[in-house]
Structures are given as structure tokens and as C-alpha cells.
Amino acid sequence: MVKFIDTHCHLDGEEFDEDRSAVVQRAREAGCKAIFLPAIDVKSCQTVLDTCREYPDYCFPMLGLHPEEVKQDWRDQLAEIKKYLNNTLTTNQFPIPLGGDEAGLPVLAIGEVGLDYYWSREFEQEQLLAFEEQVRWSVELQLPLMIHCRKAQNELVTILKKYKNELPGGVFHCFTGNEQEARQLLEFDNFVLGIGGVATFKKSHLPEVLPACVPLERLVLETDAPYMAPVPLRGKRNESAYIPYVISTLAEAYSVSADDICRHTNENVCRIFKNFTS
């Protein structure tokens, strides 16, 4: 079987504190060859880096401020996160080594970042400013974006358009939209849609939407673990070992083999995450 990559997994989360090594072991046994970890705030930049250091050449860090973590103190948070990223600026070569303790840990992307108006619009303006600042980091560092977007696609696209020609690419993670929304996002070159457990849900339209307008060159796989476990494990804690359920759903939807899904998504990962060397 061709191996696959989990491009979005909160493996540093406390949900995995009891049995993280077993989770990694199950991922390896299920055919997962790498796991990418997004940070959500300053504190998690450290836990993400720590977890990646514990599983070298298997877990890879992404650093950023998640829209739901954008509060009054967002400028201070961004300044701290930029310090982590600036340690990568010592060279223009890829992979970029981090300074000091983090030496040899290649940061793969800015993330996760974006806009989320689902729960609250309290920090709507702050979210817009924080997202745009991190989009500028993506351009400056030429690191791809790992983007989270909920109930805010038009606002998100408006910001991204300003930088369209300079952006190195990225992932619209946990895509659950319709055809029109997919087409709007795919207008950004070198961006792909991250597909996870939601595709397996009974009411999901993704098995029809994706083959209709998203070529296999524009998809990557993800869990968003511990959230979004696929059917038949829906509601349980998610982990990378469950991605084969998503692969089966996609293989059926596109009328291709599971190996084809893995091969395409692996190629897409390598094209977008230039610091990832498998």
C-alpha cells in the first residue's frame, strides 16, 4: 500500500498526553508516513516544537495564531510567534534550520491562521488584522499558509487577493463547502483543499462536490485530530491512523484506487510544503 501524510493534526494537544507514542505507533502501522502539527497560539508553538522534536523525521511543525485565539492581546501574541519564525530567517536555504534548541526542525508553514465567525464576531476586526499580518509573513518567508476558515470565506478571499501573485501557496484546511466555494478557493494557484473526516459523514456533499470541480492535483489529506473523526468512528477522538476511512471515501468518489489517492495527495504535499523532505 502507498503511504499517506496527515497534513493537519493537533498531536501536541492534551487529548494525547496519556498515549501519544501509541497514537504515533498506530499511525505508522496504518501507513501514515508523516504528520504535520499546526500551532494555535504562543503556548502551542512550544508544544508543537517539543512534540516534533520527540518524533524527528515524522512530525513537522507549522507556526501561527489561530483565529479563535485572536483576543485583545493579539499583537503581543503575534510578536512572540514571529520570534519563533525569525529563528528560521538565518538562512534563505531550504530546509530552513531553526536557531538554538530548534536546530534542524524545519518549519513547514504559517498556521493555523484564518478567520472564524462561527462562534463569535467579538474580535472580527482583530481577526482580519491578525490574518493579514500572517499572510504577509507567508509572502516574506515564502512559507505556505495552513488556513482555517469558518463563516468568513468572502472576507478571507478579499485579503488573500491582495497578495495573490506573491503567495507561495497553502492549504484551505477542513474544506466543507459547495462547488462555488471550492472554485473560488482554487483560483489561488498552488493552494489545495484539506479533506478529512467530514467527507465520510452521511450528510456530507463532498463526495459529489469534490469530483465535480476539484482535480486530484488540488487535494491533501488531514485529520484535524483530535476532532472530526471519520465514520464509523464519528464522535470519538480522531487520530492519523483513521485517515484510510477518508481515503476510501475519496477513492470511491473519484472512481480511482486508494493508492491513487495517496500518490496524488503525497505529490501535492511535496509541491506545496517545500520544506518537507520525506
Which grid coordinates are listed for 146?
495552513
Nearer to Zn ion by Cβ, of 38 and 244: the residue is: 38
Q: How far is the CB of 171 from Zn ion (least distance, A)?
A: 11
- Contact pattern for Zn ion over residues 210 through 249, marking x by CB under 5 A: --------------x-------------------------
Chain CA centroid to CA 184, Å: 19
Nearer to Zn ion by Cβ, of 10 and 274: the residue is: 10
CA distance 171 to 186: 10
Q: How far is the CB of 197 from Zn ion (least distance, A)?
A: 12
Nearer to Zn ion by Cβ, of 32 and 253: the residue is: 32
Assign 3-state DSSP to the chain and report helix, strand, coil percentages, each to 5. 45, 15, 40
Q: How far is the CB of 111 from Zn ion (least distance, A)?
A: 8
Which whole-number Å values give the CA distances from 135 to 50, 97, 176, in the listed order?
25, 21, 22
Nearer to Zn ion by Cβ, of 39 and 98: the residue is: 39
Contact between 156 and 149 under an 8 Å Cβ cutoff? The reply is: yes
Burial 225-260 (b: 16+ CB within 10 A, else e): bbbbbbbeeeeeebbbbbbbbbbebbbebbeeebeb
In the chain, how long is the greatest CA-to-CA distance? Answer: 49
Q: How far is the CB of 7 from Zn ion (least distance, A)?
A: 10
Nearer to Zn ion by Cβ, of 24 and 62: the residue is: 62
Return the ∠ at Cα 51 (arms to 244 and 46), rounded to 5°: 130
Q: How far is the CB of 229 from Zn ion (least distance, A)?
A: 14
Nearer to Zn ion by Cβ, of 12 and 254: the residue is: 12
Q: How far is the CB of 263 from Zn ion (least distance, A)?
A: 25
Q: What SS3 class is residue 46?
A: helix
Q: Which residues bind Zn ion (CB under 5 A)?
A: 224
